[in-house]
Structure 1
Amino acid sequence: MKKWLSASVALAMAGGLLAGCGGGNDGNNGSNGGNGGSSDNGGSSASAPASSAAASSSASAGGKKDVTLTYIASQGWIKDAEMQLAKKFEEETGIHIDYQIIPADQYFNVLKTKLNAGEGPDLFGGQSGKSEISLNYNVEKNAVDLTDQEWTKREDPLSLDQLSLNGKVYAQTIWDTSSSFVVVYNKKIFADQGLTVPKTYAEFKDLCLKLQKAGIIPLYEPIADGWHHTLWFAEPGPQYDKLQPNLYDDLNANKTNFAASGPLKTALTQIKEMYDLGFFGDNALSDTGAESANKMASGQYAMSLANQSLVTDIEKANPDMKATDFGFFVAPIADNQIYYINPGGPSKFVYSGGKHIEEAKEYLAYLAKPENLQYMLDNDPTVSNLNFSGLKDKYTDEQKKLHEMYPEQGTDIQDYVNYVNPQWMDIGKDIVAMFGGAMNVDDVLKSIDKRRTDMAKVAKDPAWNS
Structure 2
Amino acid sequence: MEIKSIRFLSLLSCITLLIGLLAACGGPGSDSSGSGSGEVEAVTLTFLVDNTQDSVNTANAYIEAFQAKNPDIKIELETRPGGAEGDNIVKTRLATGDMTDVFYYNSGSLMQAISPEKNLLDLTNEPFQANVMDSFKPTVSYQGKVYGVPSSSTVAGGWFYNKKVYAELGLSIPKTWSELMANNEKIKAAGITPVIGTYKDTWTSQLVVLADFYNVQTETPNFAQDFTAHKAGYANTPAALRSFEKLQELHDKGFMNTDLVATNYDTGLKMLAEGKGAHYPMLSFATPAIAQNYPDAMDDIGFFAQPGEDAAQNGLTIWMPGAAYIYKESKHIEEAKKFLAFIASVEGTKVVSEVSEPTGPYLIKEAQIPEDVPALVKDMLPYFETGKTAPALEFVSPVKGPSLEQITVEVGAGIKTAAEGAAAYDKDVEKQAKQLGLEGW
TM-score (ref. length: structure 1):
0.78
Q: Does 1:342 align with 2:319?
A: yes
Code of the residue aligned with 1:94 in structure 2: it is D
* Aligned-residue offset at 1:301: 1.6
Residues 36-91 of structure 1 show CA distances to partners (whole Å, capped at 9, x for unaligned) of: xxxxxxxxxxxxxxxxxxxxxxxxxxx85621112222212634344244234334
- Greater Cα radius of gyration, structure 1 or 2: 2
Distance 1:310 1:118, change over 3 A: closer
After TM superposition, the structure 1 = structure 2 runs for residues 9-408 of structure 1, keeping only pairs within 5 Å, are 66-76=42-52, 78-91=55-68, 92-105=70-83, 106-129=85-108, 131-135=109-113, 137-177=114-154, 179-308=155-284, 310=286, 313-314=289-290, 317=293, 321-333=296-308, 337-343=314-320, 345-381=321-357, 383=359, 385-394=361-370, 395-404=373-382, 407=386, 408=388
1:419 aligns with 2:399: yes
Residue 95 to residue 453, structure 1, CA distance change in 2 (3 Å): same
Pick closer, same or farther for the CA change 1:435–1:238 going to 2, 3 Å.
Answer: closer
Aligned length: 394
1 or 2 for the larger relative contact order (CA 8 Å, sep ≥6)? 1
Q: In the superposition, relative to structure 1, how do residues 85 and 74 fare at CA in structure 2: closer, same or farther (>3 Å)?
A: closer
Q: 1:317 to 1:69 in 2, by over 3 A?
A: closer
Paired amino acid for 1:217: T
Alignment check: 8 A CA contact 1:139 1:170 kept: yes
Rounded to whole Å, the distance in 2 between the matches of 1:327 and 1:350 is: 36
C-alpha separation in 1, matches of 2:71 and 2:145: 28
For residue 303 of structure 1, report the CA deviation from its aligned partner.
1.8
Per-residue CA distance 1:128-164 (angstroms, 9 max, x = gap)? 11x32222x1010111100112222222322211000
Equivalent position amino acid for 2:349 in 1: L
Where 1:185 maps in the other structure, the secondary structure is: strand
SS at match of 2:261: coil
- Say yes or no: does 1:444 pair with 2:421: yes
Letter in 1 for 2:219: L
Residues 256 and 328 of structure 1: is their aligned pair in 2 closer, same or farther, counting only changes over 3 Å? same
Paired residue type of 1:284:
L
Q: CA offset at residue 382 of structure 1? A: 5.5
Which whole-Å CA distance do the structure 2 matches of 1:69 and 1:317 have between them? 30
Partner SS, residue 305 of structure 1: strand
Alignment partner, residue 460 of structure 1: 437
Gaps of 5+ in 1: 1-62
Contact 2:174 2:180 in 1 (8 A): yes
Counterparts of 1:378 and 1:318, CA distance in 2: 17
- Give me the CA root mean square deviation: 2.4
Instruction: Deviation per CA, 1:366-409: give whole Å up to 9, x if none.
Output: 22232232221233236454221212213445533443267311
Determine if contact 1:315/1:323 at 8 Å carries over to the other structure.
yes
On the 8 A contact 1:240/1:334 being kept in 2, the answer is no
Unmatched tracts of structure 2, length 5 or more: 1-38
Q: Distance in 1 between matches of 2:50 and 2:195?
A: 27
Change beyond 3 A, Cα 1:250–1:138: same
